[in-house]
Amino acid sequence: MVQELAARSGAAWDVLGKDLIPDFQVTTGRRRISLTQRNLLKKFDIDTPAEEDFRKWNTFWDAPLVVPGGHDTTDLPRKADEIRRASVSYQSQSCNVTSNGARVSVAFDGLTLGLFSGDIEFTVYKGSNLLRQEAIAKTDEPSVAYIYKAGLKGFVIHDKTKLVWRDTARQWQEYAFGGAPNNEPINLRARNRLEVLDTGSGSLAVFPPPHKFFFARENEVNLGYVYYRKDDNNSFSLGAMQPERGEGYAPWGVTDAEWKRRTDTSREEWDNFALYNAPPGTQQRMAVYYYLSPQDGRRTQQAVLAYTHDDIFKPVPGFKVVTGHFHTDYNEVLRDRETLDYQPGWVPVFRGLGIDVVYLGDFHDDSDPNDPGPKRFAEEKIYFEGSRRMSDKDFLVMPAEEPNAYLGGHWYLITPKPIYFSHANPRPAGQSFSEEDPAYGQVYHLGSAEDVLNMVNREHGIIWTAHPRTKSSEGYPEAYRDKDFFVSDRFIGASWESLPTDLSEKRLCEVRCFGTMDDMSNWAPKPKFMIAEGDTYTKWPDDETYPQLAVNYLKLDRVPSYNESWAPIVEGIRAGNFFGTTGEILFHSWSVEGSGKGATYNATIEYTFPLEFAELVWSDGTKVDRRILNLTDTTPFGTKKFKMPFDATGKKWVRFAVWDSAGNGAWVQPAAVRGQ
pLDDT at residue 675 in the model: 67
- In the sheet where 638-646 sits, what is the strand order? 585-593, 599-607, 638-646
Q: What are the CB-based long-range contacts (under 8 Å, 24+) for 459-462?
A: 459/415, 459/416, 459/417, 459/419, 460/415, 460/416, 460/567, 460/570, 460/571, 461/413, 461/414, 461/415, 461/416, 461/419, 461/490, 461/570, 462/413, 462/414, 462/490, 462/491, 462/492, 462/570, 462/573, 462/574
> Is residue 676 pLDDT above 60, yes or no?
no
Q: What are the CB-based long-range contacts (under 8 Å, 24+) for 420-423?
A: 420/377, 420/380, 420/381, 420/444, 421/445, 421/446, 421/455, 422/371, 422/372, 422/373, 422/376, 422/377, 422/446, 423/369, 423/370, 423/447, 423/452
CA pair distance 602, 207, nearest whole angstrom:
34
**What is the dihedral sign for C-alpha 69, 75, 81, 85?**
negative
Percent of the chain surpassing pLDDT 70: 100
CA pair distance 468, 453, nearest whole angstrom:
19
Which contiguous run of DSSP H or E holds residue 334?
helix 330-337
Q: Please state the rounded mean pLDDT for residues 384-406.
A: 98
CA proximity to 359, closest of 174, 192, 91, 573: 573
User: String of b and e for 306-319 (b: at least 16 CB within 10 Å)?
Assistant: ebbbebebbebeeb
pLDDT at residue 288 in the model: 98
DSSP letter for 392, please: B
Show the CA angle centred on residue 653, arms to residues 649 and 658, nearest 5°: 115
Which residues are bridge partners to 125 per DSSP?
103
CA distances 603 to 242, 245, 589, 616, 670, Å, are 36, 42, 5, 11, 14
pLDDT at residue 427 in the model: 95
Tens of pLDDT, residues 21-32:
999 999 999 999
Which residues are bridge partners to 591 per DSSP?
602
CA pair distance 501, 572, nearest whole angstrom:
30
CA pair distance 540, 545, nearest whole angstrom:
9
**What is the dihedral sign for C-alpha 469, 474, 480, 486?**
negative
Q: What would be the CATH architecture of the domain defined by 2-305?
A: Distorted Sandwich (2.70)
DSSP secondary structure string for all residues of 176-243? -S-S---SS-EEE--GGG-EEEE-SS-EEEEE--TTTT----S-------EEEEE-SSSEEEEEEE--
- Residue 339 neighbours by CB distance under 10 Å: 11
Region of poorest pLDDT, from 6-10, 126-130, 284-288 = 6-10
Region of poorest pLDDT, from 51-60, 222-231, 255-264 = 255-264
Q: Please state the rounded mean pLDDT for residues 58-65.
A: 96
Task: Specify whether the CB–CB gap between 362 and 329 falls below 8 A.
Answer: yes
CA pair distance 464, 468, nearest whole angstrom:
9
Domain range list for the chain: 2-305, 319-574, 584-676
CA pair distance 518, 469, nearest whole angstrom:
13
pLDDT at residue 9 in the model: 87
> Is residue 3 pLDDT above 70, yes or no?
yes
Q: What mean pLDDT is reported for the chain?
A: 96
Predicted confidence band at 70 (pLDDT cuts at 50, 70, 90)? confident
CA pair distance 335, 339, nearest whole angstrom:
7
Tens of pLDDT, residues 320-360:
999 999 999 999 999 999 999 999 999 999 999 999 999 99
> Is residue 97 pLDDT above 70, yes or no?
yes
The CATH H-level (homologous superfamily) assignment of domain 584-676 is Macroglobulin (MG2) domain (2.60.40.1930)
Q: Please count the residues of the chain.
A: 676
Tens of pLDDT, residues 263-300:
988 888 888 999 999 999 999 999 999 999 999 999 99
